[in-house]
Amino acid sequence: MPDLFDPVVFGDIQLANRIVMAPLTRGRSGPTGVPTELGVEYYRQRAGAGLIISEGTGISREGLGWPNAPGLWTEEQVEGWKPVTEAVHQAGGKIVAQLWHMGRLVHSSVTGTQPVSASATTAPNKAHTYEGKKAYEEARAITHDDIQRILGDYATATRNALRAGFDGVQLHGANGYLIDQFLRDGTNLRTDDYGGSVDNRIRLLREATEALISEAGAGRTLVRLSPLGLVQGCDDSDPHGLFIAAGKALGELGIAAIELREPGAHSTFAATDIPPVSPHIRPHFNGGIILNSDYDGPSARARLSEGVADAIAFGRPFIANPDLVHRLRGDLPLTAPDPSTFYTAGAEGYIDYPEYEEQEAA
């Protein structure tokens, strides 16, 4: 059976081990979305992962509503990412860019324009803005012309990611953001060829993935899905049927891997009682399957031994343990992260967590 520390190949990407750093929004890139020297050090410290999936990275101003998150639609952003990818590669790691359109989960005070979504709906709760949290606004239903424009934005961001030195790209299709808003019948109320049936609702997922493939090739394209229940106001009446169909469609496209967020009843984010869909996707998907949500060393090894997962993604443990791979290999204790610094602007809680030996010597 595979071990966490065995190498694995996903498409055209060779991983030194099966520990993946999950995408983690950290908000350190400033209002122009340009990564800084802090980001270079942050990703370099964590390059021991078999694969780093970058924090969510906007494909356009319209689609990026998280304050100080990075983008990949301007030349300045591309240049800002180059030293990040170079640092990861020099440390022996691999990194792909997660491409993000947030859909209705933005606020116009950040994006400068009305939110867009599958349908004219309003997300619950509040948006993060530069002035604090504000109630979400009603989204405008995307037109067919908008869809073509957004697909073009995905292609451009993919091209920019490769220019910036990334080893590939991941489409963010999870957690209630734009692609997920089209997938689920609770937020997709359309009556055209992007709404109604499951085949219609997965159409944008398929077309956006094809946009990434057109620039990066299938062997350097990954997709993230969250086959779970309610997440950020986004739900579906039959998540198993929907996500099995989505997995089958992605399998037909021959992409390198899918990352599946499958939280349990006690998850730290969007807990659900819905049974895992991954065993039902596996027969239809020949690429790598990366499972994500609340894993530690023993539970990760157990999932690999079941034969469904090819790798395990760790999120918050990587925040406070830059040497997470070393700690998992040695069954060493993990440091708990400080949530108050998850999205603050400085080095504290970002690049100042020590490695295990430094911590013990202090």
Who contacts 93 (Cβ-Cβ below 8 Å, separation ≥6)? 16, 46, 47, 48, 49, 51, 52
Instruction: Compute, in degrees rounded to 10, the torsion defined by CA atoms 135, 136, 138, 143.
Output: 170
What is d(CA 146, CA 152) in angstroms, rounded to the nearest whole number? 10
Is residue 194 annotated as part of the catalytic site, yes or no? no
DSSP letters spanning 68-80: T--BSSSHHHHHH
Q: For residue 52, what are its two tokens?
A: 């780093």
Sequence-ordered list of residues with C-beta below 8 angstroms from that of 16, at least 6 positions apart, any chain: 7, 50, 92, 93, 94
Select which of 42, 177, 295, 356 is catalytic: 177
Q: Which residue, 34, 54, 32, is CA-closest to 43?
A: 54
Q: Which residues pair with 78 in a beta bridge?
A: none
Residues 6 or more apart whose Cβ sits within 8 Å of residue 229: 235, 239, 270, 272, 273, 274
Closest of 168, 165, 160 to residue 216, by C-alpha: 168
Say if residue 148 is exposed, middle or buried (CB neighbours under 10 Å; 0-12, 13-18, 19+): exposed
What is the rounded distance in angstroms from the CA atom of residue 300 to the CA atom of residue 314? Answer: 9
* Burial classification of residue 329, based on how many CB atoms lie within 10 Å of its CB (0-12 exposed, 13-18 middle, 19 or more buried): middle
How many beta carbons lie within 10 A of that of residue 264, not counting itself?
Answer: 14
Q: Three-state DSSP class for 296?
A: coil
Query: Which residues are catalytically annotated?
Result: 177
